[in-house]
């Protein structure tokens, strides 16, 4: 999927891109794709490790564990003071940092589940709230990376799916709250994407097949392109790819208890395959 000249022209309004979790996967691809469109963008990445990509002459990396509220507060303060140096223009904020944990409750590691809530939910709300005054002054777009897991309960990934349902609903409501202010919100719901996500979530074998016409999964670069295209087209929510859209809309026509049961059967089968 390519960006049109109109899509690219839209990006002239942004002078700043702030990404959480740009050290790998989707976040890293979003930084690269945005720099491709706007080589002069002032880039700020927040994650524990530094991205391999060049963040630009004035780009900054703030090393931070965003699941730690005190560390997030300090990182946001640093960012807000450095933001004064950024050229005038709108802000593109991408709340992307997140992880899952493939485990059956009640055997899941409780501290990991709580850290997931702190990162996937708390950090996105906290960082956005701290940056909103600057976004309201300059104008901007807040992109929240949710997931197709946001559309139904996800047994074996129970907490993860619920965090993404929060992100999806919160992003849509945020957009309405911000209507008329010059700041928009976009919820991005990727399906399976080839990143470190599955390893970090505890899958020994990523549950995604080979790339090709029948494949459900996407590359992080493709998700990034679709995200930037949706920003340029002022969408409020996207599900990446027609197969993911078909699955999420079909699921939405069935009773939630059925969809949950079907999810449990599929994810339990995956779990058995993981341990074979
Ligand atoms: N891959 C998929 O199939 C898929 C599908 C739907 C949605 N998503 C969502 O996409 C987003 C990006 O994931 P990904 O697929 O690109 O996986 P990834 O390659 O594992 O990237 C995760 C990013 O989150 C950052 N992160 C993790 N823990 C953090 C912490 N405590 N503090 C700050 N940053 C932290 C990581 O940076 P550091 O480790 O350097 O901190 C990394 O840059 C996540 O929100 C994920 O839920 C992924």
Q: Please tell me whether the peptide bond between 106 and the residue prior to it is cis, using omega within 30 degrees of 0.
A: yes
Question: 38 is in which domain, residue-wise?
Answer: 5-274
Burial 24-56 (b: 16+ CB within 10 A, else e): bbbbbbbbbbbbebbeebbbbbbbeeebebebb
Q: Which residue's alpha carbon is at the smallest distance from atom 25 of ligand 1? A: 21
Nearest 5°: the CA angle 24, 94, 17 is 95
Return the H-helix or E-strand segment holding 260: helix 256-274
Contact present, 47 and 97 (Cβ < 8 Å): yes
CATH number at residue 11: 3.40.50.720
User: Of 132-141, 247-256, 261-270, which range is least confident?
Assistant: 261-270
| CB of 96 closer than 8 Å to CB of 20 | yes
For residue 249, which phi and psi values (nearest 5 degrees)?
A: -75, -35
Average pLDDT over residues 151-176: 97
190 CA distance to ligand 1 centroid (A)?
12
Query: Is the model's pLDDT at 211 over the cut of 70?
Result: no
| Ligand 1 site, residue 150, Cβ cutoff 6 A | no
Q: Does 43 have pLDDT greater than 70?
A: yes
Nearest CA to ligand 1 atom 43: 21
pLDDT digits (tens, 9 = 90+) for 63-110: 999 999 999 999 999 999 999 999 999 999 999 999 999 998 889 999
Domain count for the chain: 1
pTM for the complete prediction? 0.96
Q: Answer yes or no: is the C-beta of 71 below 6 A from any ligand 1 atom.
A: no
Q: What is the mean pLDDT of residues 161-188?
A: 98
Give dist(CA 269, CA 196) in Å, integer.
22
Nearest CA among 143, 187, 122 for reference residue 31 = 143
With beta carbons less than 8 A apart as the criterion, state whether 227 and 177 touch.
Answer: no
Rounded to the nearest 5 degrees, what angle is found at the Cα of 173, between the Cα atoms of 258 and 131? Answer: 130
């Amino acid at each position: 999927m390519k960006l049109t000249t109109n899509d690219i022209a839209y990006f002239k309004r942004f002078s700043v891109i702030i990404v959480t979790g740009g050290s790998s996967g989707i976040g890293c691809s979003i930084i690269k794709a945005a720099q491709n469109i706007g080589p002069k963008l002032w880039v700020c990445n927040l994650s524990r490790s530094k991205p391999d990509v060049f963040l630009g002459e004035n780009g900054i990396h703030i090393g931070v564990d965003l699941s730690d509220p005190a560390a997030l507060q300090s990182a946001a303060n640093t960012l807000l003071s450095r933001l004064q140096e950024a050229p005038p223009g709108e802000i593109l904020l991408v709340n992307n940092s997140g992880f899952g944990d493939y485990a059956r409750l009640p055997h899941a590691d409780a501290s990991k589940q709580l850290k997931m809530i702190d990162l996937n939910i708390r950090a996105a709300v906290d960082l956005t709230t701290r940056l909103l005054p600057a976004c309201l002054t300059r104008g901007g777009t807040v992109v929240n990376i949710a997931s197709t897991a946001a559309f139904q309960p996800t047994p074996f990934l129970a907490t993860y799916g619920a965090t993404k349902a929060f992100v999806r609903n919160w992003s849509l409501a945020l957009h309405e709250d911000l209507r008329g202010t010059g700041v928009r919100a976009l919820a991005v719901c990727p399906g399976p994407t080839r990143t470190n996500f599955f390893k970090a979530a505890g899958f020994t074998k990523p549950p995604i097949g080979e790339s090709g016409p029948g494949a459900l999964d996407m590359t992080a670069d493709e998700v990034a392109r679709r995200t930037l295209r949706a920003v340029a087209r002022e969408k409020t929510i996207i599900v990446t790819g027609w197969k993911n859209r078909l699955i999420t809309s079909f699921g939405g026509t069935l009773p939630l208890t059925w969809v949950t049961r079907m999810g449990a059967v599929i994810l339990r089968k995956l779990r058995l395959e993981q341990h074979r």
